[in-house]
Amino acid sequence: MAPVTDDTAPAGRGDTAPARRGDDGGDPACWLRRVCPACGRLADADPPVRCTACGGLLPAD
């Protein structure tokens, strides 16, 4: 007999990115600081960098 739990476990997780779950401890700022304060665009690189959309400077924190 096949155990029922084997069939429900993979579907019950529902994680979008299970491989990154352990890395997601508490560093949302790593991309938040890339957001341009003037226009809200996401920069391509870590600050300090200039916004490619409006030319505003993203300060390095």
Q: Which residues bind Zn ion (CB under 5 A)?
A: 36, 38-39, 41, 51, 53-54, 56
- Of 32 and 54, the one with the shorter C-beta distance to Zn ion is 54
CB 54, min distance to Zn ion, A: 3
Least gap, CB of 49 to Zn ion (angstroms): 11
Distances in Å between the Cα of 49 and the Cα atoms of 4, 12, 21, 36 are: 53, 42, 29, 10
**Residue number, 9 or 53, with CB nearest to Zn ion:** 53
For residue 61, give the 3-state DSSP assignment: coil
Q: Which residues pair with 42 in a beta bridge?
A: 35
